[in-house]
Amino acid sequence: MGGGRVISVFGPSGLDENRGYGAIIQRQIYLKDKKLSLTPTLQGALLTSRKDVQFGPEFYSSVSFGTHLNFDIIATNKFKLAPFVGPSLVWISGIRGQGGALNSGSIDIYRLGIEGGVSLSYIHSEKFSVKSIPLTFTRATKNFGQGNIFSLLFQII
């Protein structure tokens, strides 16, 4: 479990960029080949960067579920470096406002996409490790994009 900074873009122009913070829950499942693993991932984010905009404030939350296929390109007793990729389903819910008030309507959208990134894990012991994910990027339908910047996860077994 851990978290990090989140940036979401809802369209092709990039003018509708929203920033916030998120939490991540993962469970890494190693396959027979110890270099390959599957990681079901649940992420939640609060996108609050535009809540105080004078004209047209916005507040969103996003929840995504994905399954990553990881490949350990470097694996020692203490460190693992693994790129990952997999499908992702994202649900974004929020409210938009006019004239400084969050009251003009709600938004509920779903997007199907693909998520990728790279992780670096430090294994302290069999029961505790720390995983750093410098960048995760999701590209989804209808020009939706979401990136997690420097997520830090603590794995306790």
Virtual CA dihedral for 27, 32, 36, 41, nearest 10 degrees? Answer: -20
- Cα distances from 8 to residues 4, 81, 95, 115, in angstroms, run 13, 26, 15, 13
pLDDT tens digits along 48-85: 877 666 666 678 899 999 999 999 999 899 999 999 99
CATH number for the domain including 115? 2.40.160.20
Range(s) of the domain holding residue 88? 2-156
What is the predicted pLDDT for the residue at 5? Answer: 83
pTM score over 0.75: yes
Mean of the per-residue pLDDT values of the chain = 85
pLDDT tens digits along 119-133: 999 999 888 999 999
Virtual CA dihedral for 49, 58, 8, 24, nearest 10 degrees? Answer: 80
pLDDT tens digits along 6-21: 888 877 665 678 889 9
Number of domains in the chain: 1
pLDDT at 145 over 90: no
What is the predicted pLDDT for the residue at 112? Answer: 95
pLDDT at 100 over 60: no
